[in-house]
Chain A
Amino acid sequence: MRKLLDNRWLVLGCRLVLGAVFVYASWDKIQHPAAFAKQVYNYQMLPVIPSNLFAMTLPWIELFAGVALIIGVLKSESSLLLSVLLAVFIGAISLNLYRGVNLDCGCFSTAAGEGRSIGLHTVAQDVGLLAAGLVVLRAAMLERRRDTAVGTD
């Protein structure tokens, strides 16, 4: 298992896929802040003001962290951030599935009715991305530890 997780091609693939997915996911939300704020509010987890602040900030976190992963800078910081976000997404989707609420997931599109509804498939998608995030985070932390040990960081 450890040998697999240390495979540089696996780590590179996870890093590029994760980065590309989040850059793509951020694009439509950045262009339509109000529509995305409504999608966030529909999850019924935050009151109006925190919901609006989250909607204004989240797409830019996704963009910055995604771009950083693609170009290979701030890898541990970006993969930590995206992994935390994915854990939050999984929790929010699962809670609303448990509540029986049917809503657009707000994953990639803000257009009403054009996005995918939440479901087990969206949870599975986020679990897969979280696994990729943790692979990248593990590799980045090991790299950082090595750099610290040899005094280059």
Chain B
Amino acid sequence: MTDWGRTALGALGIVACAAAVGIVHNRVSGEGIGITQHPVQAVSNLEESWFLDTPAAKKKWDDGVTFVDARAADFYLYEGHIAGAISLPVLEFDSVFPLVKDRLPSPDEEIVCYCSGFGCEESTELARRLTEAGYRLVYVYEGGWPEWSEAELPSEVEGS
């Protein structure tokens, strides 16, 4: 076997050892994740929440489900937002939630949270807060505003 072949084989050996230790550690670690568990769900502990892609989110929108924008109000106003979405910046949840509560559906109805797409944390945090507030059917639209606007789906810009 060539030197490169032996090196590649040795590297694969390290990967195999690392995989074995990693899987065992994940299992015994208190912060591990199930192999089939959605990573966003694992972090946010949203028991009854669901994660939507763009077609699924559009279907909810067509069905009249309420969308809630978790970003800061400036983004909602000036960058634009999903048509009909309600602004509920998660960083100001405690002060804004009482103000918009009347516009939200009842806790037994569906509600979709979104923010600035994959990588933003606001939508999952908002979903967690809404779940704590009693909402049982909270969804997270992971692609959020970037995917929605890129797909040229119904949108609104309120400021200019």
Total B residues in contact with A, Cβ cutoff 8 Å = 38
* Residue B19 is within 8 A (CB to CB) of chain A in the complex: yes
Q: How large is the interface on A (under 10, 10 to 19, 20 to 34, 35 or more residues)?
A: 35 or more
Interface centre among A52, A55, A141 (most CB of B within 10 A): A52
B residues in contact (CB < 8 Å) with A: 3-4, 6-8, 10-11, 13-15, 17-19, 21-23, 25-26, 29, 31-40, 42-43, 116-121, 146
What A residues does B38 contact at CB under 8 A?
Answer: 48
Is the CB–CB distance between B121 and A77 below 8 Å?
Answer: no
Is the CB–CB distance between B40 and A41 below 8 Å?
Answer: yes
Given contacts A33-B32, A58-B22, A74-B14, 11 further A-B contacts (CB under 8 A): A31-B29, A31-B31, A33-B29, A42-B119, A48-B37, A48-B38, A52-B33, A56-B23, A60-B19, A78-B11, A80-B7
Is the CB–CB distance between B39 and A34 below 8 Å?
Answer: yes
What A residues does B29 contact at CB under 8 A?
Answer: 31, 33
Is the CB–CB distance between B25 and A32 below 8 Å?
Answer: no
Contact of A52 among B8, B14, B31, B35 (CB under 8 A): B35
Contact of A38 among B10, B21, B36, B40 (CB under 8 A): B40
Known interface pairs A55-B33, A76-B10; A35-B43 also in contact (CB < 8 Å): yes
Q: Scoring A residues 43 to 74 as 1 if CB is less than 8 Å from chain B, else 0, what string do you get?
A: 11000110111011111110111001000001
Is the CB–CB distance between A42 and B43 below 8 Å?
Answer: no
Q: Scoring A residues 107 to 129 as 1 if CB is less than 8 Å from chain B, else 0, what string do you get?
A: 00000110000000000000000
Contact of B11 among A41, A53, A77 (CB under 8 A): A77
The smallest C-beta distance from B14 to any residue of chain A, in angstroms, reads: 5
What A residues does B25 contact at CB under 8 A?
Answer: 30, 33, 56, 60
What B residues does A80 contact at CB under 8 A?
Answer: 7-8, 11
Is the CB–CB distance between A34 and B43 below 8 Å?
Answer: yes
* Residue A145 is within 8 A (CB to CB) of chain B in the complex: yes
Is the CB–CB distance between B14 and A48 below 8 Å?
Answer: no
Known interface pairs A33-B33, A64-B17, A103-B119; A56-B39 also in contact (CB < 8 Å): no
Is the CB–CB distance between A60 and B43 below 8 Å?
Answer: no
Is the CB–CB distance between A102 and B119 below 8 Å?
Answer: yes
The smallest C-beta distance from B54 to any residue of chain A, in angstroms, reads: 12
Residue on B nearest A82 in the bound complex, by CB: B11
Contact of B26 among A33, A61, A76 (CB under 8 A): A33
Residue on A nearest B150 in the bound complex, by CB: A100
Is the CB–CB distance between B39 and A37 below 8 Å?
Answer: yes
Is the CB–CB distance between B15 and A81 below 8 Å?
Answer: yes
Interchain residue pairs with CB less than 8 A apart (28) = A31-B31, A33-B29, A33-B31, A34-B33, A35-B43, A37-B39, A42-B118, A44-B118, A49-B35, A52-B36, A52-B37, A52-B39, A55-B33, A55-B39, A56-B19, A56-B33, A57-B23, A59-B22, A61-B15, A74-B14, A76-B7, A77-B14, A80-B7, A84-B11, A102-B119, A103-B118, A103-B120, A113-B121
